[in-house]
Amino acid sequence: LVAKRRDDYRPSDFFIDTVDISFILSPENTEVCNIMEVTRNISGCDILKLDGEQLNFVSLMINGRLAKENIDYTLHENGLDINLDVDHATLEIKNTISPINNTSLEGLYYVSGAYCTQCEAEGFRKITYFLDRPDVLSKYRVTIICDRPELTYLLSNGNKLEDTLLEDGRRKVVWEDPHRKPAYLFALVAGHFDRLEDSFTTSEGREVLLEVFVDSGRLHQAGHAMSSLKKAMKWDEDTFGLAYDLDRYMIVAVDFFNMGAMENKGLNVFNSKFVLAEPKSATDEDYFNIESIIAHEYFHNWTGNRVTCRDWFQLSLKEGLTVFRDQRFSEDMSSALGCRIKQVKVMREHQFAEDAGPMSHPIRPDEVLEMNNFYTVTVYDKGAEVIRMLHTLLTPAGFRRGMDLYFARHDGQAVTCDDFVQAMEDANDANLSQFKLWYSQSGTPEVKLALEQNQLRLTQTNKPTPDQAVKQALYIPIKLSMLDEKGLEHTVDEEHLGTFVLSQEAATISLPERLQHGVPVILTDFSAPVKIDYQYTLDEILHVLRFAQSHYAKWDASQMLYSRLIRLAYDSNEDNDNDNNSDNNNDNNKYNAGQIQSLTNLIEYLEQATLPDDVVAQILCIPSFETLAIEYTQLNPSRLQSAHQELTLLLARTAKDCCERRLKEQRVLPYRYEQSEVNRRTLFAVCIRLHVLALSQEGKGNDLLSAYAQADNMTDKLALLKAAQQADINAFDALMIDFEEEFGHDAVVMDKWFALHATAPRDDILSRLDLLQAHSQYSVKNPNKVRALIGSFAFYNTQGFHAADGSGYKYVVDFLMKLDAINPQVASRIITPLLQMNRYESTYKSLIESQLSRLFTQKNLSKDLFEKLSKTLA
Ligand code: HT7
Ligand code: ZN
């Protein structure tokens, strides 16, 4: 197994100008006939090396002549080498594939009565022999022939040219895509669907037919996806001047899909959980995600499809940029603050951990063994943060100028991240050479802040990561201000724009006298993807909470306070672990009066301030276990879990009256997905959870069952279920039975049920997981089910997964041994929490290590797991 390196990029020896590909569909044996016009690109090259995997070769014709094996071509495990010493040729390749046996869900697969493709990154080579690389752009004509009349739709990219019933009763449909595209954007879907139709007239006057295809009986759940699509189309015209370029835009929702969605040209394929919604089955979060993912795939039409990646190392060119675009869209459509907090949580909970682990890589990786392993939070979310910094530094108008130039220069091309930054530089007459280090340097920078009499001193540290020993100083925009003793806020950067750029290892900012005892408000809005180190006292944190003007800064202060208190409890648990006589039961013992008072002060502030519901809700949320874990070395997960639980209980007691009052004040209206109602329900969810916890500590129950029965929507139902799961296990069991009775038939909703079971803190969790794997709705071949059950357990059931006897680790590894042979891509996602092995205390580390070593010796291990295990165990 040899990794590919970014530096080894060479242009393709040949191009494929046109593809005329026909499919005679059959689940066991689909016949593929692929006619290509090929042009030589590099003179002197006389072998055309086509990629091909898991294909049954039938025949090859070169310019109408039947080619002979070992004379005209050679076949090998990964493709077909054709001797071709000409500048142009027409090739006709026939092969067969077996979609029903394709459980990897990459290439063409057949499941639940429908055919579907997934070609990004390198799946087209599982359909036919091809130059399966993103810098080979071709025009496609696709013919689909099917002998099953019950498959109402035979779809592919572009415009439909023909739809005929053949004399033998088979149906033939022909599609043509006028835009040149890389093979990864090819799609074919054939199945029986219900169809929702609408239209959109673009700013250029094009009348576009919009179609959403869903499983039959689900049409009433497709409306939100359709209206999200129209909003996205309008937003991209208004914000970036980008209009749609085909007469038809199709979205198909399927139950079996490895990822969230795929931006195939004109024919997006979606995981059904990111399309289907109605109030009784989808939460506010589902509504939000659907809107943002529909937009994300739509935005790819320009950032990814019209201008694509030269090679897969450039993935962030399209993904970081498109995530940034969908984030801006969501900020405009809903609550900008709520969006930003969600984004920051993803960075702190997942991306920082990836950067600190064995898979650490820059947003533009240098070395890749299995490309599917690099669709990561680093490439996507840190990539979007890098684009966001450009947006901040160049201003929105400057950023737009850069985008305009990027499209003017590169429409129809396959380009690099450097090309993108060059357009930004040229359009703004800016020098971004140091900024570009963000593309090549991995790891999370730490910025230390010190208040030294008359100045603020900022120092950045970029620690070595497993992939890169040497680091350089980055160009870091830091939103920064100072609060004086009275709570007045002042800018302190030289230009007084509120953003200080730290471009060297260290820098100082001088402070006027009145600020020399002030309190810094730092990294507001998470202006750069860095960690901040400043030793606030608890009172200083409360000062920021009370007086900072930005709601983001207030929320961040609350998170600092909670993290600090959890650290205190963690350290005191360590003392107690070493002192067996101590009384561990009273949580208040972990804290002194001043520390308890800081929490009381926080609640008092919430009671007297008039903050919007969503801000209050966010401030009442303690950082997740995973977010906190990244701050610890030699982590003892069970001790951190106890410390987290202790603070949660203390917060529930402290906030009891506040939550009770806010719950009473709630004016419940029939469900509408509308921001003020979303904020109200978010606050309800947080308050009910804390309230039930507070009552359970007093030995009192809460009538969750009747509240659940009255809830008219899934958001409130799930809030009540989660409250019960954390505090009242009897009510939880009863509600889960009720839930299953009501929603047992709905695959998308049942994923929530599986996830709730998998994250329940109970001692018999492993036998529960066994039972759940035998449930009629569960299938190991369905990625949504695997993620909901085993993924949720591994990622979020801290107590069960980190059981001191190692049984949780063993359970997951046993499962991965089975899953890897079925679907390596999904196996490679589920393994993520185990990759953090080196950050745990030695007992936990060796328990994980022995399980991973066992997995590593498994026969026929996939490339996906091999790459991650070899780095982790190195
Ligand atoms: N470009 C698509 C995502 C995709 C993907 C995601 C995770 C693992 C493998 C993958 N192959 C393709 C969807 C998108 O980003 O819009
Ligand atoms: Zn994307």
Determine the atom of ligand 1 nearest the C-alpha atom of 260: 13
Euclidean distance between CA atoms 82 and 51, whole angstroms: 11
Residue 728 pLDDT: 81
Closest CA to 255 of 109, 121, 146: 109
* Ligand 2 centroid distance, CA of 597 (Å): 46
| Nearest-CA residue for atom 3 of ligand 1 | 262
DSSP state of 623: P
Residue 817 pLDDT: 98
DSSP state of 468: B
Residue type, 540: E
Euclidean distance between CA atoms 757 and 738, whole angstroms: 14
What tokens were used for 763? Answer: 């001692």
Residue in the block written with tokens 């659907």: 290
* Ligand 1 centroid distance, CA of 820 (Å): 19
268 phi/psi in degrees, rounded to 5: -75, 140
| Nearest-CA residue for atom 13 of ligand 1 | 262
Evaluate the omega torsion of the peptide bond into residue 548 and state whether it is cis, within 30 degrees of 0: no
* Ligand 1 centroid distance, CA of 259 (Å): 6
| Nearest-CA residue for atom 2 of ligand 1 | 262
Residue 579 pLDDT: 57
| Nearest-CA residue for atom 12 of ligand 1 | 120
297 is catalytic: yes
Q: From start to end of 462-601, where are the E strands? A: 476-483, 489-491, 499-502, 506-510, 519-522, 531-533
Residue in the block written with tokens 């982590």: 635
- State ipTM: 0.98
**Nearest ligand, CA 322:** 2
Determine the atom of ligand 1 nearest the C-alpha atom of 304: 1
**Nearest ligand, CA 269:** 1
Residue 581 pLDDT: 46
CA-derived radius of gyration, the chain:
28
**Nearest ligand, CA 117:** 1
Ligand 1, residues 104, 120, 124, 326: which to mutate, most atoms within 8 A of Cβ? Answer: 120
Residue 573 pLDDT: 81
* Ligand 2 centroid distance, CA of 742 (Å): 34
Cα 271 to Cα 276, 690, 705, 752, distances in angstroms: 9, 33, 32, 15
Ligand 1, residues 185, 262, 376, 784: which to mutate, most atoms within 8 A of Cβ? Answer: 262
Residue 594 pLDDT: 96
Angle at 480 between CA 478 and CA 483, to 5 degrees: 165
Determine the atom of ligand 1 nearest the C-alpha atom of 121: 11
DSSP state of 210: E
Q: Give every CB contact of residue 209 below 8 A, 6+ residues apart in sequence.
A: 197, 199, 247, 248, 249
Core vs surface per residue 41-66: b (16+ CB within 10 A) or e: eeeeeeebbbbbbebebeebebeeee
* Ligand 2 centroid distance, CA of 261 (Å): 8
Determine the atom of ligand 1 nearest the C-alpha atom of 293: 16
Ligand 1 site residues (CB inside 6 A) read 120-121, 259, 261-263, 296-297, 300, 319, 372, 375
State how beta strands 519-522 and 476-483 pair: antiparallel
Ligand 1, residues 117, 259, 302, 314: which to mutate, most atoms within 8 A of Cβ? Answer: 259
Please state the pTM of the whole predicted model.
0.98
Q: Which H helix or E strand runs over 48?
A: strand 47-51
Residue 590 pLDDT: 83
| Nearest-CA residue for atom 14 of ligand 1 | 262
The sheet with strand 73-76 has its strands ordered as 47-51, 79-83, 73-76
* Ligand 2 centroid distance, CA of 319 (Å): 5
Alpha helices in 774-862 (DSSP H): 783-786, 792-796, 798-801, 807-822, 824-830, 842-856
Euclidean distance between CA atoms 566 and 626, whole angstroms: 13
Instruction: Give every residue of the chain whose pLDDT is below 50, as ranges.
Output: 581-585
Start-to-end CA span in the chain (Å): 16
**C-alpha dihedral, 583 to 586 to 590 to 592, nearest 10°:** -120
* Ligand 2 centroid distance, CA of 374 (Å): 12
* Ligand 2 centroid distance, CA of 230 (Å): 18
| Nearest-CA residue for atom 9 of ligand 1 | 372
What is the chain's length? 874
| Nearest-CA residue for atom 7 of ligand 1 | 375
Count other C-beta atoms under 10 Å from residue 676's C-beta. Answer: 13
Coil, strand, or helix at residue 502?
strand
Residue in the block written with tokens 């890169």: 468
Euclidean distance between CA atoms 239 and 811, whole angstroms: 49
51 phi/psi in degrees, rounded to 5: -80, 145
Ligand 1, residues 375, 380, 864: which to mutate, most atoms within 8 A of Cβ? Answer: 375
Q: Which of 106, 263, 291, 297 is catalytic?
A: 297
SS (H, E, C) 316-353: HHHHHHHHHHHHHHHHHHCCHHHHHHHHHHHHHHHHHH
Question: How buried is 782 (Cβ within 10 angstroms: 0-12 exposed, 13-18 middle, 19+ buried)?
Answer: buried
Coil, strand, or helix at residue 495?
coil
